[in-house]
Amino acid sequence: MKPIIAIVPRAGKNIKGEKHCYALPRFVTAISACGGIPIALNNLEGTFELSDLDEILDRVDGVVFSGGPDIHPKHYGEEVLDCCGEIAYERDALELPLIRKALEKNKPIMCVCRGFQVLNVALGGTLYQDINVQMQRSTQIEHRRDAEGEESRGMHTVNVIRDTPLDTFAGGQTKIGVNTLHHQGVKKLAESLCSMATADDGLIESAYYPEKDFVMAFQWHPEYLGLEDSTSKKIFMAFVEASKREMERRK
């Protein structure tokens, strides 16, 4: 049997202007290639209830929280600043309670970009609404790169913290190249999380929850780097393996 892994969806509109939601294909292919069964969740307004979350999580073995627009700053005690970007209200409504419930159930969780920010905020951390505007730093790194095709390349390096899961995934490398597609980032890391990597400008680029079986977050996009990248492949393989263990536990 294969573990079933839920992917939180992105939202869009079809050619008729109707809202729809979908899972990013690169997550689907990576999870499938590593031995999981990926399924997309739904976040269309009015089509799910918070009381459904227990039933959803009781039927899946792992959850991916993917990238996307900004979280409303009210969720970490701030007003919206001019530097804040597009806010994903429907995603906030689903993802914040979903991740708290998944943590409560000790489900394997993989968080990417916005997903990292959702995890941090859900656990009491805060965010820079815009890194360039708010973060004081002596070393300048361009974190937002949107050019076509750039998402798959290593844009800058991150410093891997020893004796963390990422240290294992990176095969002992002290620096790894990552892509960068975000304008927000972690300001205050939630107390329950531990950093696994930082950029040269001091921004936290990865973290994990050591008290849980598998809760890991990455500010970059390992799904775009793909399974050809050895670190990304090990991350996805470890996540699917943790989901397999959860599947066995649920039997």
* Whether 26 contacts 223, CB under 8 Å: yes
Q: What's the rounded Cα separation, in Å, for the pair 191 and 24? A: 30
Residue of 75, 104, 96 whose CA lies nearest to 8: 96
Output the CA torsion sign for 58, 60, 61, 66: negative
- Which residue do the tokens 């914040």 mark? 96
| Distance, C-alpha 190 to centroid of its chain | 15
Alpha helices in the chain (DSSP H): 25-33, 53-58, 89-104, 114-122, 131-134, 165-169, 222-225, 230-250
Please calculate the CA angle 224-66-218 and round it to the nearest 5 degrees.
70
Rounded to whole angstroms, the Cα distance separating 1 from 89 reads 36
What is the set of active-site residues?
A: 113, 221, 223
Do β-strands 109-112 and 175-178 pair in parallel, antiparallel, or remain unpaired?
unpaired
